[in-house]
Structure 1
Amino acid sequence: MRTPPKRALVTGLAAAALALGSTVAATPAHAAACNGYVGLTFDDGPSSGNTPALLNALRQSGLRATMFNQGNNAAANPSQVRAQVSAGMWVGNHSYTHPHLVQQSQAQVESEISRTQQAIANGGGGTPRLFRPPYGETNATVRAAAAKYGLTQIIWDVDSQDWNGASVDAIVAANSRLGNGQIILMHEWPANTRAAIPRIAQTLAGKGLCAGMISPQTGRAVAPG
């Protein structure tokens, strides 16, 4: 009388163990799918009009990115700085007013950088360790000012041209050119960029690439720490 229930119990435990085993095995398999890491970056935020939609699109696609925030926008939208961090993004410094820093004095450059550091910290974004000069323009003065505040200067390997009216197809194609460790320039405000995100995720997955963080030590994309 007791044999069938016991056998059923053993069978049930074996099935549970098998299911558990398959679940555990799935994690390393998923991790192994990352044959390399790329740095997705979005400049010029945050804003109440664009940041929520961008973060939602990234979350839904399972992507993380580095947000190079302008200090004046961070000061005006502290809740969006917090939202970026809550969504798992990394926050970098993109100057306070987006000027041509190479045309400014060292004192002016340092002011642009330091005020942005403070605005981002005040918004809950921590103290940035990455700095992207506006327009990618830099010189010895800009580099020295960034170094003074412990910032690693980050330019890019691929320009999506989203700031120049690139189509969704063109933005996706630009992301497809990324290789391990490389970084792409995008912006948070173009609607085409937000629309491209699901396809960007598919494109990267097809190449075995995952969205990573940018290392302050090397300036390259690496596995999230």
Structure 2
Amino acid sequence: MTFRNSRRLSLLAVAALAVATALTASPARAAVCNGYVGLTFDDGPSSSTTALLGALTGNGLRATMFNQGQYAAASPALVRAQVSAGMWVGNHSYTHPHLTQLGQAQIDSEIARTQQAVVGAGGSTPVLFRPPYGETNAVVKAVAAKYGLTQIIWDVDSQDWNGASVDAIVQAAARLVGGQVILMHDWSANTRAAVPRIAQGLAARGLCAGRISATTGRAVAP
């Protein structure tokens, strides 16, 4: 074998290895979207937001980030990063209180200040609202509607807020069916670690991460 042929074979081998590596590293995506699910992350933005965004975008996922107004106001660059990464930003109250224990004026303040904080940070005006702890009543819902917000609870609770393991979070996401929404949290390291496996599981079932409709509250195509 000549040196030229040997070198050519070596280059071909390197190229083949590079292609194989790229295919292996490619984020999991469903070949065809047979349905959409809503991935949601509460309580950001935080010191974990940048890493979470990297995990989501690296695995071809988009999500709705239900931000607390106080954190959006304190870290506007992170809100802009969420938007730049293709995420949707929702309202999760300003200080995360038990809204059902507050008067109407206090509820109004919590929601209104968060709308202002998100817009002031460079995000679009939120159209989705998640009440803290999922606690709501007619007054909370009416105040949210006053600001053009659709209340979004969840169909599946990942239990990441309760110390759920990576495996448990992946298993929770595996229960999602088309149109449903899962509750997760911006600050959970286990949730972040679960993201690649969540993406793989969804793709294997022909499901894609979508936006949450402000009309129906269900996950739909982006």
Name the TM-score, length of structure 1 as normaliser: 0.85
SS at match of 1:57: helix
The separation in 1 between residues aligned to 2:163 and 2:83, in whole angstroms, is 28
- Equivalent residue number for residue 196 of structure 1: 194
> Distance between the aligned counterparts of 2:30 and 2:172, measured in 1?
25
Aligned counterparts of 1:43 and 1:51: Cα–Cα separation in 2:
11
What amino acid is the match of 1:51? Answer: T
Aligned to 1:60: 58
Give the superposition deviation at 1:94: 0.1
Q: d(CA) in 2 for partners of 1:163 and 1:59?
A: 22
Residue of structure 1 equivalent to 2:12: none
Task: Specify the alignment match of 2:212 in structure 1.
Answer: 214
1:170 aligns with 2:168: yes
| Structure 1 partner of 2:73 | 75
Partner letter of residue 39 of structure 1? G
Kindly report which structure 2 residues correspond to 1:99-118, keeping only aligned pairs within 5 A, or say none: 99-118=97-116
Q: Cα deviation per residue 1:153-211 (whole Å; 9 max; x = unaligned)?
A: 00000000000000000000000000000000000111000000000000000110000
User: Which residue in the other structure is 1:40 paired with?
Assistant: 39
Structure 2 unaligned runs (5+)? 1-28
Which of 76, 94, 97 does residue 95 from structure 2 map onto?
97
Corresponding residue of 2:10: none
Superposed displacement of residue 31, structure 1: 7.8
SS in 1 for 2:44: coil
Secondary structure of the 1:44 match is strand
Paired with 1:155 and 1:82, the residues of 2 have a C-alpha distance of: 24
Query: CA RMSD for the aligned pairs?
Result: 1.0
CA distance in 2, matches of 1:86, 1:32: 25
Cα deviation code 1:118-175 (max 9, x no counterpart): 0000011110000000000000110010000000000000000000000000000000
Give the corresponding residue for 1:20: none
**Structure 2 Cα separation of the partners of residues 147 and 88 of structure 1:** 25
Counterpart CA distance in 1 for 2:216 and 2:158 is 22
Greater radius of gyration (CA)? 1
**Counterparts of 2:212 and 2:77, CA distance in 1:** 23
Letter in 2 for 1:181: G
In 2, Cα distance between the equivalents of 1:175 and 1:31? 15
Deviation at 1:32, TM superposition (A): 6.1
> Which residue identity is paired with 2:127?
R
Q: Separation in 2 of the partners of 1:81 and 1:133?
A: 19
Q: 2: CA distance between counterparts of 1:197 and 1:157?
A: 18
CA contact (8 A) 2:30 2:204 kept: no
- Between 1 and 2, higher relative CO (CA 8 Å, sep ≥ 6) is seen in 2
